[in-house]
Structure 1
Amino acid sequence: MAGASRLGVNMLLRSWFFILICLFSGHSLADTVWLDNGDRLSGRIELIEGGRLVMATELAGTVTVSVSRIRTLESDRGLLIKTHDHAERALSLRASETPGEVLLVNGAVQSLALRDIRQLLEPRPLIEDWQWSGKAAAALDVKQADSDTRDLDISVDTKARHGDWRHELGYEFERDFRNEQKSRHVWEAEYDLSWFFADKWFWQTSLGYRRDFLEEVARRRQLGVGPGYEWWNNSLGHFETAARLGHLRLDRRDGSAWHASALALEWDYRRFLFGKRFELYHTAETLIPDASEIRWSVDAELGLRYLLNSWASLSLIADWDYLNATDGSDINYRRYRLGMGINW
């Protein structure tokens, strides 16, 4: 009797274990795309835009497919869909028997031609757990012509988000040589802490430090606080602006120091293009100090990143540092770089 009882308990436990596996596997079902040649892709649909579908797969990484080659698709996730004349949120998508169409489930079931979809993306979820992302890039330029040139640039940017709080940390190192003479040697770091007190609005505290080993201004320290607004943030990119009041301190190489209150205007724009194959980005900060020596300054970066795969990229970057001084000692520095990077 004891053996039979143990056997019954084991069978019951196995049955419950099998049921739990089925339940959890049902929640992990992947999106599915059927192609016109009979192939089938499984993964997570990230985006449809410009006639191309972007899908993250487990084995092949990020895959881009022309919408014209898709027979139908399905997804059990809520997605935002924009057509030529309206936008709506579908609870799920079902495969259609008609080639080139998909069934939208949003209370009622309606048929939609895939060619009519201008954009399809996943709505931004409510962030409860930690989300960490970042990128690192390195550019090395070596030329031998009328003047020998060796330029090295390394940058690391990382971002962590948890609930209403966002942490951003950036670091950059630059060292240039002209005919074996060092022409630029700079490193700088910046930390931003943002608190989202509303859906789009946030309050930001920013700390910045810059060390220059060659120019007259050897050190720059910057502290600022102020509001910001996130205009959009989705799988296509994001755009936000911020205005901060703070303090700026410059330490010259001769031992003297200069400090003043300053208004900082900052923006950050990023946009994926051509089915997430390219990323265009532009960041800039304009400083307007309350001082008679300096009118204003700009630190801007414009770049185009080509995504080789889900983690590697090739970047073309243009930097512009400008300072407008009342005594005519303006600084106007431009630089163009080509580098490799990794994303996570």
Structure 2
Amino acid sequence: MTQPPTPRVHLVAILLLSGASSHADVLWMKNGDRLSGKIEAIDAQRVQISLPYGAPLRVDRAQVVRWRIDSMEQRKLASSQPTPAEEKAASQYWHLSASTDLSAKLKRNSSNRDDINLVANSELTNRHWRFSLLGNYNYETSDGQTKSHDYELNPKADFFLSQQWFWRSALDYNYDLLSANYLSVEYSTGAGYRFWNDRRRRLEWVLQSGIDEAYWQVGSSSLDLLFENGHVRYPFLSMGWDYRQPLLDNSIEAFSTGSYFRYLHQPSDYVQYTQSAELSLGLRYYLTNHLRLSWRSELKWEDLQVELAGSTVRPTDDIDWRHYLSLGASY
């Protein structure tokens, strides 16, 4: 894999953040959406809110569960706040969203090759909790021989301490059906900050600590010479992000997710596994409100070196870069 995110990436992130207002009025909708901007008018039928990324909206007040107004001079607009019973209902309301993306490449010429990748993501949220599950399945064959066959499951649980701050606990389970190094399990927990989040826009940063455990079949890997019992664990600190932003007339969406890991302890004197990174970025084009075409690039990089007999060896497979064009749906 290539090098970890450069300072230029961080500069771009800072510029993006500078455009987000630190104070905003907020509407919580019955369908689970959250609109951030400036509330300009409230009457018995409508609420008008000016959005930083689009034209002002007038929404049906019956579809609004509650609102928050930051500006003191604007609070006279809110002559009738939601009742405590309505606020309690808002905190208990759950909103479910999900998406799937399927890419397949079937090659028939000098060689026969089939590549299939399926990604599914679901999210269940209310005012205080968010539960998400990401699944990724990959299967590749060439001339009847299976080249790769693996899957990943990544459940997360977030508890919101405030509108911006949350605490995350996560598990990342990777299983390879072909390799002797068949299993990697990552446990992590830590604090996150949400700069903005609504139906189409999101920017979040997370700082976590945890344990990365690897398992392999005893007697089938050279790792037996360096470790015992077919198992090793690495404590780590990590920083991650989740970003998405609509472009043009909202028919195009840019997105990026990623994590950088720094390992705190080396259990073997012969193996130095100091850092790694995972990055995904791409674009989605919405054909309809639910159907979409997506392009994405995924990068996995590991800084790993093995020292044996006075020489240093770097594995040749420490970089994995893949590109996908897929058809998907969100709902």
Matched residues in 1 for 2:106 and 2:56: separation?
52
Aligned to 1:317: 296
Q: Deviations over 1:199-253 (max 9, x none)?
A: 2110000011110122342101111110001111135411101011111110023
Percent sequence identity over matched residues?
20
Counting only pairs closer than 5 Å after superposition, residues 37-56 of structure 1 correspond to structure 2 as: none
User: How far does residue 90 in structure 1 lie from its aligned partner after superposition?
Assistant: 8.5
For the structure 1 residues 83 and 204, does the alpha-carbon distance in structure 2 shift closer, same or farther, using more than 3 Å as the test? Answer: closer
Counterpart of 2:326 in structure 1 is 339
Q: Distance in 2 between matches of 1:107 and 1:263?
A: 43
1:335 maps to amino acid: R
Alignment-derived partner of residue 185 in structure 1:
149
Letter in 1 for 2:94: W
| Aligned partner (choices 282, 287, 296) of residue 303 of structure 1 | 282
- Report the aligned-residue RMSD: 3.2
Q: Hey, what's the Cα distance between the residues in 1 that align with 2:57 and 2:102?
A: 41
**Which residue in 1 is equivalent to 2:178?**
214
Shift of 1:141: 0.6
> How far apart, in 1, do the equivalents of 2:280 and 2:198 lie?
22
Q: Deviations 1:162-217 (Å, cap 9, x if unpaired)?
A: 12111011111100112221111111101110011022110000011110122342
8 Å Cα contact 1:81-1:90 kept in structure 2: no
Map of 1:62 onto structure 2: none
Distance in 1 between the 2:326 and 2:262 partners?
32
- What is the rounded CA distance, in whole Å, between the counterparts of 1:127 and 1:274 in structure 2? 33
Q: Distance in 2 between matches of 1:82 and 1:268?
A: 20
The equivalent residue for 1:79 is 49
Pairwise mapping of residues 151-166 of structure 1 onto structure 2 (< 5 A)?
A: 151-166=115-130
Residue 252 of structure 2 aligns with which residue? 278
CA gap 1:157/1:293 in 2 versus in 1, 3 angstroms: same
**Farther-moved stretch of structure 1 (291-300 vs 189-198):** 291-300
The match for 1:176 is 140
Alpha-carbon offset, residue 128 of structure 1: 4.4
d(CA) in 1 for partners of 2:59 and 2:144?
A: 63
User: How many residues of Structure 1 are paired with residues of Structure 2 in the alignment?
Assistant: 245
Distance 2:128 2:57 in 1: 25
Q: Work out the CA distance in 2 between the residues paired with 1:331 and 1:323.
A: 5
- Cα offset for 1:81? 4.3
Of Structure 1 and Structure 2, which has the larger fraction of its residues in strand?
Answer: 1
Contact preservation (8 Å) 1:207, 1:223: yes
Q: Which has the higher contact order (CA 8 A, sep 6+)?
A: 2
Matched, 1:134 2:98: yes
CA distance 1:342–1:236, shift in 2 (3 Å) = closer
Structure 1 unaligned spans of 5+: 1-45, 48-74, 93-105, 109-125
TM-score normalized by structure 2?
0.67
Equivalent pair of 2:48/2:56 in contact (CA under 8 Å): no
| Contact 1:127 1:161 (C-alpha < 8 Å) held by counterparts | no
Q: Give per-residue Cα distances to partners, 1:284-306, cap 9 Å, x unaligned.
A: 12222222531111222112111
Give unmatched runs, 5+ long, in structure 2.
1-34, 37-44, 61-73, 77-89, 220-229, 307-313
TM-score (norm 1): 0.64
Paired letter, 2:278: D
